[in-house]
Amino acid sequence: MMDRSETSLGVARAMIDAWRSLDWARVVNIFAEDGVLQIVPLRPYAGRAAIKAHLDQIASGIERLDFSIKHLNAIGHIVLFERTDEFVYKGKPAAVPVAGVMNIADGHVKAWREYMDLATMAKAMGS
C-alpha cells in the first residue's frame, strides 16, 4: 500500500502529464469539484467550471508545453515543486521559472498555488 506522500506525488505527476499533453479536460478533472487554481497574487479560480473557463482563455494559444522539473517532493498531502515551464505560445517560444504547491485530497488536486514573476510570464505570453 502506498503512503500518503506517494499517493500525492502520483496525483501531481498525473497533472503534470495532462498539462504536457495539453489534455485540458483531464487537467480539469484532476481537480476536485471545488478545487482552486491560483497564480499568486492574482485572483483564484475556484471550482472546475472556473478553472475550465480560465484554461479556455489560454489553451488555444499554447502550441507546446513542457514542465522541466527541478524538484518534486511530497510531505503527506502537500506537494512542492520547482520547475521551468518551457512553452510555445502563439508561435513564440518562452521559458518561465515557477514554484508550485499542491494540496491533494481524495485523489484530486484540492488547491494549486503557482508562484512566478508575473512580468516574465506576461512578456512570454506577449502581453
Cell output for 74: 511530497
- Residue 124 pLDDT exceeds 90: no
Give CA 8 to chain center in angstroms. 14
- Residue 27 pLDDT exceeds 60: yes
Closest to 93 in 3D by CA, of 55, 123, 57: 123
In whole angstroms, what is the distance from residue 68 CA to residue 33 CA?
28
Report if pTM > 0.85.
Answer: yes
Report percent pLDDT > 90 for the chain: 78
In whole angstroms, what is the distance from residue 35 CA to residue 109 CA?
6
Q: Is 49 helix (H, G, I), strand (E, B) or coil?
A: helix
Mean pLDDT of 39-45: 94
Q: What's the DSSP call for residue 91?
A: T
Topology, domain 4-124: Nuclear Transport Factor 2; Chain: A, (3.10.450)
In whole angstroms, what is the distance from residue 12 CA to residue 109 CA?
8
Say which residues have a Cβ less than 8 Å from residue 39's Cβ, sequence separation at least 6. Answer: 114, 116, 118, 121
Comparing 50-54, 107-111, 118-122, the range with the smallest average pLDDT is: 118-122
Tens digits of residue pLDDT in 53-85: 999 998 888 999 999 999 999 999 999 999 999
| Domain map (residue ranges) of the chain | 4-124
What confidence score (pLDDT) does residue 117 get? 85
